[in-house]
Chains A and B, each alone.
Chain A
């Protein structure tokens, strides 16, 4: 495992840790190629749940997505879309 870290204590980004990109991270990145980000506006607060997102996708694209394939990252949602066709449809004009 080739990973090192260094911490920046007093400069701009306090407590910065640099991660060395390794096999595991590259593997994760390959998995995440299936991910579509549903990016919500920064301001405002809504009670949007994975169920709500699933309903929206079903309504718009006729695609079924498992709840487990919807996760939250910060204020946005990550959608793991296994089907290339559905993924293309969701990202196409």
Chain B
């Protein structure tokens, strides 16, 4: 078996995110309540199971899930799979047709007086449930997945947009070239992290893991 290399890096709160200037998005933000709107139109409630993947570990709280789905569904039960940081959510919605297969989650951050968003793409995998969820096991009640479509291509679109954003951020903040990809350039933040700056600590540690069937050999490389 060919070797597989993995880098060992300390976790940081920006890992896996794209930093983008917030002002570009502020005018497009809305709080439209799709679920209430659909309910008022007389659309019937539907019981669904949503698998949510992509939420970064530090944002994995029930409150985050409730916030994500706040205008889309009434959340009934939230289960976190700690082995892969994926959520299974049981919910009731009047606007099933509006729940997107892909979305994004962001958090605010101040850098050099500029408001940034750190953004991660997330996926919703939705399954409609025949009968109302009883709270224990619903797998036998599930219908065919209704929205397993084009996740990969939509994710690619999100990432391409993210990369373009990143380039723009580099141009606007040439003194902070680490802004876009912070994962290897992080130093711990003080308690008031929302207003703190991030500085590259200088050394990046890279390890290469070699797999040979069941054996694994690791060697360290300094880059």
Contact = CB atoms under 8 A, between A and B. Distances in A.
A74 to B, nearest CB: 7
Contacts of A52: 211, 216
Given A56-B209, A56-B218, 15 more contacts: A9-B30, A15-B100, A16-B117, A21-B194, A25-B107, A26-B191, A32-B11, A35-B10, A37-B7, A38-B8, A59-B218, A60-B218, A71-B85, A72-B85, A91-B205
A21 B108 CA distance: 8
Interface in B35-68: 53-54, 56-61, 63-64, 67-68
A93 B222 CA distance: 7
User: Size band of the B side of the interface?
Assistant: 35 or more
B148 interface: no
Interface string A19-35: 11110111011001101
Chain B at the A interface: SS class: mixed
B103 interface: yes
Indicate the size class of the contact surface on chain A: 35 or more
B71 interface: yes
Q: Is the interface of A mostly helix, strand, loop or mixed?
A: mixed
A8 B194 CA distance: 22
Contacts of B13: 29, 32
Interface in A45-66: 46, 48, 50, 52, 55-56, 59-60
Given A19-B106, A28-B61, A10 B28 contact: yes
A78 B57 CA distance: 9
B158 interface: yes
A92 interface: yes
B5 interface: yes
B104 A90 contact: no
A17 B6 contact: no
B102 interface: yes
Interface string B191-207: 10110000000010101
B110 to A, nearest CB: 11
Contacts of B203: 93
Contacts of A85: none
Contact of B83 (A37, A71, A92): A71
17 contacts: A1-B63, A5-B31, A10-B28, A12-B161, A13-B104, A13-B161, A18-B107, A19-B59, A21-B108, A25-B59, A32-B58, A38-B6, A46-B211, A50-B83, A71-B57, A78-B11, A93-B222
